[in-house]
């Protein structure tokens, strides 16, 4: 009873103003014109807010990015550029390509340290001694903790055309719901799991002359990829963006 009376009292000024607007008795306000202007301004404000919200979502969307290219083509340099602004980063560094972060080679120490600081900004580099055996545990921790960018070198070794671990598939399929972005890097795009390419939002392709890779890229991205790859100079790449027409050329 008290709650109902309290709401009635607190709503009284609002109900009084609404009634005055409806009847046109508020001094200096014409009923029809004011209501139309008010409605139009409100609609315009909501439209602008929606545009800004969509832009922010696009900029902050957690996504899957793939980078294809031969050794020495500029893949790791590009990857470092892409993760430059990431607040929480885990690198599965099988090739010892990365140095900007805290480096671990012992899995138990790495996971123990990570779980202590996962709510704070961090840049962790794990160099596995047995990558095939350890990727499952790392992917499981990535999915459980969330809110991280996960960069994986030689991703084709763990996501082959015929096999992908359960934890890794969770990261790929549902990672964005846990604020996880994934960057996968490989020298050979041919033979990686279809789940990865179907979920990818960005693909960067450095030049390759391997026939099977070229065939695979034509199937994946269309016939135009050949002419684009033939134009590439050193450290240049072709960029495919989901939802955008055509292919772009950029430089690492």
pLDDT in tens, 160-175: 888 888 899 999 999 9
Percentage of residues in the chain with pLDDT exceeding 70?
75
Residue 85: HSE in the Cβ half-sphere, 13 Å Cα cutoff: 3
CA pair distance 192, 169, nearest whole angstrom: 13
The side-by-side arrangement of strands in the sheet containing 64-68 is 102-104, 122-126, 88-92, 148-152, 180-186, 64-68, 200-206, 236-241, 248-251
- Average pLDDT score over residue span 151-155: 95
Mean pLDDT of the chain: 82
DSSP 96-133: ----SSEEE--HHHHHHHHHHHTTS-EEEEE--SSHHH
User: Is residue 1's pLDDT more than 90?
Assistant: no
Kindly give, in sequence order, each residue whose CB lies less than 8 Å from that of residue 208, ignoring residues fewer than 6 positions away: 68, 69, 70, 189, 214, 217, 229
Provide the token pair at 212: 């099977």
- Average pLDDT score over residue span 192-208: 93
CA pair distance 199, 192, nearest whole angstrom: 13
pTM for the full predicted model? 0.75
**Phi-psi group of 133: left, alpha or beta (phi > 0 → left; psi -120 to 50 → alpha; rest → beta):** alpha
Q: Are 137 and 108 in contact (CB under 8 A)?
A: no
Q: Identify the band that residue 35 occupies on the pLDDT scale cut at 50, 70 and 90.
A: low
- Average pLDDT score over residue span 130-155: 93
- Average pLDDT score over residue span 99-117: 93
User: Is residue 16's pLDDT more than 70?
Assistant: no
User: Is residue 177's pLDDT more than 50?
Assistant: yes
């Amino acid at each position: 009873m008290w709650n109902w009376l309290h709401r009635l009292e607190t709503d009284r000024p609002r109900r009084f103003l609404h009634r005055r607007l409806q009847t046109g008795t508020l001094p200096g306000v014409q009923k029809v014109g004011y209501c139309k202007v008010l409605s139009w301004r409100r609609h315009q404000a909501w439209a602008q807010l929606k545009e800004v919200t969509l832009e922010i979502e696009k900029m902050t969307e957690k996504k899957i990015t793939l980078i294809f290219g031969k050794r020495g083509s500029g893949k790791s340099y590009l990857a470092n550029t892409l993760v430059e602004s990431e607040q929480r980063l885990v690198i599965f560094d099988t090739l010892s390509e990365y140095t900007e972060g805290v480096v671990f080679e012992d899995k138990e120490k790495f996971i123990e340290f990570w779980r202590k600081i996962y709510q704070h900004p961090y840049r962790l580099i794990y160099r596995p001694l047995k990558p095939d055996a350890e990727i499952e545990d790392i992917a499981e921790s990535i999915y459980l903790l969330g809110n991280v960018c996960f960069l994986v070198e030689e991703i084709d070794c763990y996501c082959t055309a015929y096999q992908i671990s359960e934890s890794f598939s969770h990261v790929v399929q549902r990672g964005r719901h846990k604020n996880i972005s994934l960057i996968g890097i490989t020298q050979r795009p041919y033979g990686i799991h279809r789940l990865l390419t179907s979920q990818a939002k960005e693909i960067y392709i450095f030049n390759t002359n391997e026939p099977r890779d070229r065939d695979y890229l034509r199937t994946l991205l269309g016939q135009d990829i050949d002419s684009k790859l033939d134009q590439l100079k050193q450290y240049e790449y072709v960029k495919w963006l989901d939802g955008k027409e055509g292919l772009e050329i950029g430089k690492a």
